[in-house]
Amino acid sequence: MLEIRDLHAAVDGTPILKGITLTVNAGEVHAVMGPNGSGKSTLAQVLAGHPAYEITSGEILYKGENLVEMEAEERAQQGVFLAFQYPVEIPGVSNAYFLRAAYNAKLKAAGKEEVDPMEFLDLVEEKLKLVDMDPAMLHRSVNAGFSGGEKKRNEILQMAVLDPTLAILDETDSGLDIDALRIVAGGVNALKRPDNAAIVVTHYQRLLNYIVPDQVHVLAGGRIVKSGGKELALELEARGYDWLLEAVA
């Protein structure tokens, strides 16, 4: 589904990613871990198409197509979804309207009929239950005045509505208490299917108790320095990152 080959990316001329190679197959969950500044979030943003990052070499193939050439909105319409580390507040645009605009954009790109507000409300009410969200939140402005936990739940709600093929969760666990973490992880697990995949970017192993990865990759200095099974995450939790960094230095 996703093939990243020797990917180099820079921001304002400063190289951040220095040769990432990663393959994610349908039905898999991959965890990307690493210390602060290792390039984890950059990788997530690059996959979503953030314009601040320049791909200097390498390629990204998504369902066999060149992802780098697609605009962010096109990637989303094709099933790529990024759950933001810091979800953006948009005062003045209601959550319900925003969700429907996103949902309809995807339908339209697939050549399907758009849904009207009533139909959409039925659909979204189902998804609200998944993340244990109050329907009243739909009528508030997108993320405006939401608590940290509410923002993250709102990200998963968007993910549930858009039903992505490739979901990238960028430190969705940071700042969450254990109850919120359970709800968020439960939402992600419920959306898992054999025909989709997820990349879970996290600093801590804690989230991986709830979202069990098929593979764990450790990023440091813009490269993957180690890959392994879920037990690698436990080892990182026990020993920290330093031993790995020393080993590759």
Decide: is 154 part of the binding site for another protein (CB under 8 A).
no
Q: Of 62, 84, 146, 241, which lies in the binding site for another protein, with binding defined by CB under 8 A? A: 84
By the 8 A CB rule, do 4 and 58 touch? yes
Decide: is 82 part of the binding site for another protein (CB under 8 A).
yes
Q: How far apart are CA 215 and CA 208, in angstroms?
A: 11
Decide: is 102 part of the binding site for another protein (CB under 8 A).
yes
SS3 of residue 103 by DSSP: helix
Q: Of 91, 135, 229, 240, which lies in the binding site for another protein, with binding defined by CB under 8 A? A: 91
Q: How far apart are CA 245 and CA 40, in angstroms?
A: 15
Q: By CB under 8 A, which span of 7-15, 78-86, 126-134, 239-247 interacts with another protein?
A: 78-86
By the 8 A CB rule, do 83 and 169 touch? yes
Decide: is 30 part of the binding site for another protein (CB under 8 A).
no
| Rounded least distance, CB 101 to another protein, Å | 5
Buried b (16+ CB within 10 A) or exposed e, 49-74: beeebebeebebebeeeebbebeeee
| Rounded least distance, CB 240 to another protein, Å | 32
Whose tokens are 């690493």? That residue is 34
Q: Of 98, 175, 227, 234, which lies in the binding site for another protein, with binding defined by CB under 8 A? A: 98
Q: Of 88, 136, 238, 249, which lies in the binding site for another protein, with binding defined by CB under 8 A? A: 88
By the 8 A CB rule, do 109 and 77 touch? yes
Decide: is 111 part of the binding site for another protein (CB under 8 A).
no
| Rounded least distance, CB 217 to another protein, Å | 22
Decide: is 125 part of the binding site for another protein (CB under 8 A).
no
Decide: is 106 part of the binding site for another protein (CB under 8 A).
yes
Q: Of 65, 73, 125, 179, which lies in the binding site for another protein, with binding defined by CB under 8 A? A: 73
DSSP strands (E only) in the chain:
2-11, 14-24, 29-33, 53-62, 65-66, 80-83, 90-94, 141-142, 166-170, 197-202, 215-220, 223-228
The residues of the shown chain that bind another protein, judged by CB under 8 A, are 48-51, 71-73, 75-77, 81-82, 84, 87-94, 96-98, 100-102, 105-106, 109, 117, 120, 141, 158, 162
